[in-house]
Structure 1
Amino acid sequence: MKQFLSLILLFSSLFAVASEKVTFKAADGVEVVADLHMSHPKSAPLIVLFHQAGWSRGEYLEIAPTLNRLGYNCLAVDLRSGNLVNGIRNETHQHAKAQMRQTRYVDAHQDIEAAVSYAKSLTTGKLLIWGSSYSSALVIKYAGDNPDVIQAVLSFSPGEYFRSQGKPEDWITQSAKQITCPVFITSARNEKPNWEAIYEAIPVDGKMNFLPETLGNHGSSALWVRYDDHEAYWTAVVSFLKSLEK
C-alpha cells in the first residue's frame, strides 16, 4: 500500500489533470466559483472539496489530482468565508462582498448546499463531501441534515466553531446524530478534543478516525507533500475510500 501510494503521489504532482472553472448560484444569489477536476466518466464517484478559514479552492491544487489518480472526479469549491492560498484568490468571497453579503463561517453553509446540488448533476456514481477546518464541521452538519443525499463524508479538523456566530454549542453534534453514511475524521493530534464528542455522536458502523503518530497538521493541508507525515494521512484516507467499495 505504501509503495503504491508513493507512486500515486509522485505521478499526481508530475501529471496533474487540467481543471475547468465553473460557477453556480447560492440561495441568496451569490455566484459560487469552483474548479472541476473531471478526469473520469460521469459514472465515477465525485468528491466535493471545501477549504478551511481564510483560504480558497487553492487548498486542493495538489490534493485533487491525487484523488483523480485514485479514481475520483473532484469539485473544489470557493466558500464565501475565505481569502487566499497557494496563489488562488477566493472568488466567491469577492462576489459575496460585492453584493454586501455576510461572509462568516455560518454564511458559507448555503454555498455548501449549492455545491452539493450542482455536483449531483455531474455524477451518476457516489457523491462524497470533504471539508477542512470550519467547513469540515459544516459537511458533517450537511450530512446529518440531508441523510439521503450523499454517500460519505471526510472531515479534516472539525469542531463546534460556531458559538460566537449565534449557534448552539452542540450545533454540529446534534446533526451528527442523524448521519446515516460512512464518515472519516482526522486532525492534528492535539485537536482530538475538538471533535471527539461529534465522532461519538455519529451512529453508523462505517465511521473511521485517524491520528498520526507525529504532531500532525490542521485541515486538509495535512495531505500536502511539504509535510513529512503526509503519507500517513493519505494512507488513512485511501483505507477509508477503499472501505466504501465493499
Structure 2
Amino acid sequence: MKYLILIFFLCFGLNVLAKETIKIKAADGVEVTVELYMVHPDTVPMIILYHQAGWSRGEYQEIAPILNQWGFNCMAVDQRSGNMVNNVQNKTFVSARQLMKETKYVDALPDMQAAINHAKMYLAKGQMIIWGSSYSAALVLKIAGDRSSDIDGVVAFSPGEYFQSMGKSSDYITSSAQNIQCPSFITSSRSEKNSWWGIHEAIPTETKFYYLPETSGNHGSRALWSKFSDNEGYWNAVGVFLEQYL
C-alpha cells in the first residue's frame, strides 16, 4: 500500500480525472451540489466524502482521485454548513442562505442523507462507505448507527460531540454510534484523541479501528493532503482499512 501511495503522489496529474458536478435536492428543498468521481462501473464500492466546517467539496480535490485509483467511485458533497476551500465555493451553503435555512453543523444532516439516498438510487450498486471530516466526521458516525442496515463502512477524521451548543445532548453522536454494525475507522491529530475516544469505545463491533500519528498530525481529512509531511501515515492507515472492500 505504501508503494502505491508514493506512485500516486508522483503521478499527481491524476487529480484531473473525470469528474462531474450535479445538483440534488435535500428533503427541505435545498439544492445540494456534489462532485462525482465516477471512473469505475457502478458495482464497485462508493465512498461519499463530506467536508469540515467552513469548507466545501474542494477539501477532496486531491483525495478523491487517489481513492479512484485504488478502485473506488467517489462523491464529494457540499453541505450547507460550510463556505470555501481550495478556491471551490460551497454552493449548497449559497442555496440554503437563499432559502433562509439554518446553516449550523447539525443542519447539514439533510444534505448528507440526500447524497446517500441519491447514490443508492442512481449511482451505486456496490458497497456504500461514508467518510467525514471534523463535524461531518461526527455526523457520519451518527448516520452509520442510525442507518446500520444500509451503510457498509464509515471513516471519520476528527469526530467529536460538537453539537451541544445547537441544542443536542452531550452524547448525540455516541448514542447512535452504539448501533453501528459496519466496519469503522477513526483518526485525528494526536491531541484530539480525547474528543472521540468515548465514541470509539461505544461502537460495539470488533471491526472498529483507529489511527494516531507519531507526529502532532492534523485536523480533519486535510491530514491526507500532500502539503503535510506526515500524510503518508494517514494514507497507509486508511488504505489498510479500505482494502477489505476491494
TM-score range, shorter chain: over 0.9
In 1, distance between residues paired with 2:29 and 2:116?
Answer: 16
2:216 aligned partner: 215
Residue type matched to 1:139 in 2? Answer: V
2:87 is the alignment partner of 1:87: yes
In 2, distance between residues paired with 1:89 and 1:116?
Answer: 21
1:10 aligned partner: 10
TM-score (normalizing by structure 1): 0.98
**Identity rate of aligned residues, in percent?**
54
1:183 aligned partner: 184
Decide whether the 8 Å contact of 2:45 with 2:245 is kept in 1: no
1:133 aligned partner: 134
1:42 aligned partner: 42
TM-score (normalizing by structure 2): 0.98
In 1, distance between residues paired with 2:232 and 2:127?
Answer: 25
Task: Note the alpha carbon deviations across 1:150-202, whole angstroms, 9 max, x for none.
Answer: 10000000000000000000100000000000000000000000000000000
In 2, distance between residues paired with 1:26 and 1:160?
Answer: 24
Q: 2:100 aligns to what SS in structure 1?
A: coil
How many residue pairs get matched? 244
Q: 1:49 aligns to what SS in structure 2?
A: strand
2:36 is the alignment partner of 1:64: no
Counterparts in 2 of 1:44-193, with a 5 A limit? 44-120=44-120, 121-193=122-194
Task: Note the alpha carbon deviations across 1:44-92, whole angstroms, 9 max, x for none.
Answer: 1110000000000000000000000000000000000000000000000
Structure 2 gap ranges (5+) = none
In 2, distance between residues paired with 1:214 and 1:237?
Answer: 17
Q: 1:67 aligns to what SS in structure 2?
A: helix
Q: How far is the alpha carbon of 1:8 from its aligned partner? A: 2.2
Q: 1:81 aligns to what SS in structure 2?
A: coil
Q: How far is the alpha carbon of 1:123 from its aligned partner? A: 1.0
Runs of 4+ in 1 over 3 A off after TM superposition: none
Residue type matched to 1:215 in 2? Answer: S
Task: Note the alpha carbon deviations across 1:2-50, whole angstroms, 9 max, x for none.
Answer: 2222112322x21231210011100100000000000111111110000
Decide whether the 8 Å contact of 2:14 with 2:66 is kept in 1: no
Residue type matched to 1:90 in 2? Answer: N
In 1, distance between residues paired with 2:39 and 2:238?
Answer: 20
Q: 1:184 aligns to what SS in structure 2?
A: strand
RMSD: 0.8
In 1, distance between residues paired with 2:129 and 2:58?
Answer: 19
